[in-house]
Structure 1
Amino acid sequence: MKVIIAGYPKTGTKSLTSALRTLGYTVYDYLENFQFLCNDWETVLTEGGNSEDFYRMYNGVDATLDSPVFVFWEELHRTFPDAKVILPIRDEDKWIVSFKKQCRQIDDHMLMKFYKFFTPTGRRYQAYTNTWVTAALGTPLKTAFHKTPVNELLYRTRYRQHNKYVTEVVDADKLLVYQVKDGWEPLCQFLEKDVPETAFPHANVGGTFFRDNMETHPVLLRMKNEMITMLSLIAVIISFVIFLF
């Protein structure tokens, strides 16, 4: 592990994922943590874990971020003490607006609702999300067809406390407090990388991550294929019943 992103969701994490991959890092973002480490994270979130668990989970991965990593960034840093820590931040008022908008985007995404309710991968994804949200933010999501509860006072308080704590406990030479609007220069200087010739990526603007990745990400494609299989099976059963009667 070379880089640990300690920031909350909606602080530019998807842009950082794209930027780090451009710089040559292997990155586990939210869906990769679910895809490859769901069992491990469910155990950590419900029973606990230790450095041996985190080493096994992330040995060979260059960087990780988003949920539920931002909750356990310190334990990861104890496991990989040579890793650098990046704390992406943004104005608190803009952050909470963006966070609430992301929740609405997910709530209103009808296809994801059906995936999370009717497919095996989707149901597990929903359960996994409920587990980390309850552990990190204290507000369970209930089911795929319920609106996401957003306790603005609680989220603001935890966001503020989290950022303050990270800046207090990480050695200055290992920490970059970063805003994605600052682009490549401070990030590359901190990571000792050459600045790419390409423009700095800006991903998930407006909370469109799921819509943008529906046809490309393996996790979402698996949900799609499971839904197609389920609908095909239902169609066969209905046809068979009609034939019989």
Structure 2
Amino acid sequence: MSEQDFARLGNYALMLQKSPAIDRRKCMRTVPMEVLSLGPSRTGTLSMQRAFVILGYADPYHFSSIFGNVKDCDMWKEAFHAKYHGRGSFGKEQWDQLLGHCSAVTDFPCAYFGPELMDAYPEARAVLVERHVDKWVKSFGTLINEAYHPVSTILGILDPTWMGRINGVGYAMITAMTGQSTERQIMRHARTSYEKHYQCVREEVRARSVPLLEYRLGEGWLPLCQFLGKDIPQDANSVEIPFPHMNEKDNIQAVFSVMARKSLGNVLRNVFVAACVLFLVAWISSQLVF
């Protein structure tokens, strides 16, 4: 993963590396959970993820983190099933398995589980980044257009172990937020769903007396560092490091383009392997004919 890849894709550049296929069910917590950033996707979550990295938090979890270990999708599906369908349980033990290597989280799917994460980690501090709703709806529409594009859908079917897993979690997130499953209905309910999410987070934070920072991108390091008890980060020359800014509009289009190419490669490889197997079976069968 080069600097150019990171500049273009942000943390999504993890998809360019081979997934380690870690089974999180066999993991445990190795660092304390300290920060829960509970704003939805398209509110500068990539910038916040990078900011937490700069501040020294271990592996801040973002939706893009899934690309570093696609098997995470299996546990996220369990979490969604437990919360929204009453199938099984997903408590602190499971959160420690799934997020035990992380000391901060941001973006969906984590932001959907604010109450559960606050219950599991009552010592953590909460951050809520808000964006003007009209700008968010427009940005969210770009995401939905890419996520529900026929190419993405078809590749999810043909490439079930990679694209299919990622699509499954992505669609579950969107349905959980909006209560809808079609592109038109999702966008029709987007504004209300956005406002409801913030209302829910604020109510759950107040109910638990969790320290909360209401933060807007553009405010820089000072309010965030004061809230988290961190020094404003500086480089080796004692010059303040600029607050990260990821262009999410350009980023998301590049991400889906790279995803499609990677998934298509998976499909072609699977087709080649299947063709070789069929050829081998046919050859063996021909040798058995007397």
User: TM class, shorter-chain normalised?
Assistant: 0.7 to 0.9
- The answer to whether 1:137 aligns with 2:178 is yes
Partner amino acid, structure 2, of 1:116: G
CA–CA distance in structure 2, aligned partners of residues 109 and 212 of structure 1:
16
Shift in Å at residue 84 of structure 1?
A: 0.9
- Aligned pair partner of 2:221 in 143, 160, 184: 184
- Aligned pair partner of 1:56 in 86, 90, 97: 97
CA–CA distance in structure 2, aligned partners of residues 213 and 84 of structure 1:
32
CA–CA distance in structure 2, aligned partners of residues 220 and 176 of structure 1:
37
Partner amino acid, structure 2, of 1:31: S
Alignment partner, residue 32 of structure 1:
65
CA–CA distance in structure 2, aligned partners of residues 238 and 42 of structure 1:
34
User: Pairwise mapping of residues 9-28 of structure 1 onto structure 2 (< 5 A)?
Assistant: 9-25=41-57, 26-28=59-61
CA–CA distance in structure 2, aligned partners of residues 175 and 96 of structure 1:
24
- Aligned pair partner of 2:112 in 48, 57, 71: 71
Aligned residues: 231
Distance 1:159 1:109, change over 3 A: same
- Asked if the contact 2:126/2:213 (under 8 Å) is kept, the reply is yes
- The answer to whether 1:201 aligns with 2:244 is yes
Which segment drifts farther, 3-12 or 47-56? Answer: 47-56
Distance 1:63 1:222, change over 3 A: farther
- Asked if the contact 2:42/2:248 (under 8 Å) is kept, the reply is no
- Asked if the contact 1:7/1:89 (under 8 Å) is kept, the reply is yes
Shift in Å at residue 72 of structure 1?
A: 0.9
CA–CA distance in structure 2, aligned partners of residues 68 and 116 of structure 1:
19
Shift in Å at residue 65 of structure 1?
A: 2.2
CA-to-partner distance for each residue in 1:34-92, whole Å, 9 max, x for gaps? 73532222112112422332233223311122222111111101100011111110111
TM-align CA RMSD: 3.2
CA-to-partner distance for each residue in 1:6-45, whole Å, 9 max, x for gaps? 1111111111111111222211111324735322221121
- Asked if the contact 2:128/2:214 (under 8 Å) is kept, the reply is yes
CA–CA distance in structure 2, aligned partners of residues 136 and 173 of structure 1:
23
Distance 1:107 1:169, change over 3 A: closer
Alignment partner, residue 118 of structure 1:
158
- Asked if the contact 1:85/1:174 (under 8 Å) is kept, the reply is yes
Alignment partner, residue 163 of structure 1:
198
Alignment partner, residue 12 of structure 2:
none
Which segment drifts farther, 90-99 or 24-33? Answer: 24-33
Partner amino acid, structure 1, of 2:169: Y
For structure 1, the 5+ residue unaligned runs are 142-147, 241-245
Which structure is higher in RCO with an 8 Å CA cutoff and minimum separation 6? 1
CA–CA distance in structure 2, aligned partners of residues 125 and 21 of structure 1:
24
For structure 2, the 5+ residue unaligned runs are 1-32, 82-86, 234-239, 281-290
Higher Cα Rg: structure 1 or 2? 2
Distance 1:224 1:132, change over 3 A: same
Q: TM-score, normalised by structure 1?
A: 0.78
